[in-house]
Structure 1
Amino acid sequence: MQLSGRGLGCVRGGRQVFSGLDFEASSGEAVAVVGRNGSGKTSLLRLIAGLLVPAGGTIVLDGGDAEMTLPEQCHYLGHRDALKPALSVAENLSFWADFLGGERSDAAASLATVGLDHATHLPAGFLSAGQRRRLSLARLLTVRRPVWLLDEPTNALDAAGQEMFGHLMRQHLIRGGLIIAATHAPLGLEARELRIGGVA
């Protein structure tokens, strides 16, 4: 499986964020997107996820599921954790599993893996920032998708959480998945760098 972009351009609010951008990532590979604030790291992930329309160029996934669109084969984990505060931890994860569809793993096992099995019935509004991020990570495990698009994924995670997530990412790559992550911090695994907009 290979994900590639050729000649990509992005315009936001009438401003050219980037143009002529090329990238590629293959199964088992992680790419760290680096650059200064406002250089277009998040915008690139949103283009791949189908949340923005490119101003130019193409994005192609070769070797994926021919019956599914690229966004249907991606997990997009943004800056903010998309959770309903009034729903419990388990209910939030169940909502996302139903919404995303596709191949599912055991939600309880996913919560245990990210260290939230003790908080299953707790409303998400009671979680700390680090716990909310862990719940978002559980979504990656519960619904299997080959492409992970991660925007500052270690935000709010403590050292143990970062180590845990590094292990999850390595396991995803071993299974043939690929990762594209916009980050200012080390990912905790070997990653090829894609630099946007000059010096980070």
Structure 2
Amino acid sequence: MPDSAPPLPLLAAQGLTFSRNDRPVFGPLDFSVDAGEALLVRGGNGAGKTTLLRVLAGLLRADAGSVEIDGRPARTALRAQAMAYLGHLPGLKADLTALENLRFLVGLHGLRRGQLVEQALGIVGLAGYEDAALRELSAGQKKRLSLARLWLSPAALWLLDEPYANLDLDGIELVNRMVQAQLRSGGAALVTTHGAYAAPPVRTRELVLAGGNGDDLAEATA
């Protein structure tokens, strides 16, 4: 019997290019992320890390190239189903409580099987803050609430832009545990960093953005 074909990558990008005001930001980039692994996106300030994640999430349009999810073109509906994006802004409503924010977002994006909204607050260290309005929370607590939203998402692919920012050592360890659990469940993660924080202790490859100079990609398996 012929050997079975290898599984398709969870995410694959080919020739991905983006420019702003006629100045190249990154690309062309070719990379992929398999289920069960993380891609660490490194680069200095202005290298295009945040822009790359926003392009992958469909928030910005690439100049050229393609993105596929499980071998299918990453159209809007498929991105919304398969991707969960954690950006620099919390993506939460200031007038709602912590619990109300999570319930609202679960209603929009769905709920990971076997999870409860209230339990997610405890997992991220916000037990007892269920009725606290978002505006009453510190920057670190808002980040933890955003992590609870991420944890509840059923998306297989996490796009994490500087996920360790505004977190103490316990928070950094929380992110690492969450990424480990995501990969164990067959998901994947893209994690941006400028090098100030350690990478999550998981199966990791690197995508190094040098910034618009034609030498954007260096990939290694760790």
Shift of 1:102: 5.7
* Cα pair 2:160 2:189 within 8 Å, conserved: yes
Q: 2:169 corresponds to which residue? A: 159
In structure 1, stretches of 5+ residues that fail to align are none
Shift of 1:144: 1.2
In structure 2, stretches of 5+ residues that fail to align are 1-7, 217-222
Select the residue among 48, 55, 60 that pairs with 2:68: 60
Q: 2:205 corresponds to which residue? A: 192
TM-score by length of 2: 0.83
SS at match of 2:78: coil
* Cα pair 1:154 1:187 within 8 Å, conserved: no
Q: 2:92 corresponds to which residue? A: 83
AA paired with 1:120? Answer: E
Spell out the pairing of 1:39-118 with structure 2 (5 A cutoff): 39-62=47-70, 69-101=78-110, 103=112, 105-118=115-128
Q: 1:182 corresponds to which residue? A: 192
SS at match of 1:181: strand
Shift of 1:61: 1.1
Shift of 1:14: 3.3
Q: 2:150 corresponds to which residue? A: 140
* Cα pair 1:48 1:71 within 8 Å, conserved: no
Identity %: 39
AA paired with 2:201? Answer: L
Distance in 2 (CA, whole Å) between partners of 1:63 and 1:172 is 20
Q: 1:117 to 1:63 in 2, by over 3 A?
A: farther
Shift of 1:63: 6.0
Distance in 2 (CA, whole Å) between partners of 1:143 and 1:18 is 29
Report how many aligned residue pairs link the two structures: 198
Shift of 1:92: 0.8
**TM-superposition CA deviations, 1:53-90 (whole Å, max 9, x none):** 110011111268x9951332100000111121221000
Distance in 2 (CA, whole Å) between partners of 1:18 and 1:63 is 23
Shift of 1:98: 1.2
Distance in 2 (CA, whole Å) between partners of 1:117 and 1:37 is 35
Larger Rg: 2
* Cα pair 2:126 2:145 within 8 Å, conserved: yes
Shift of 1:22: 0.9
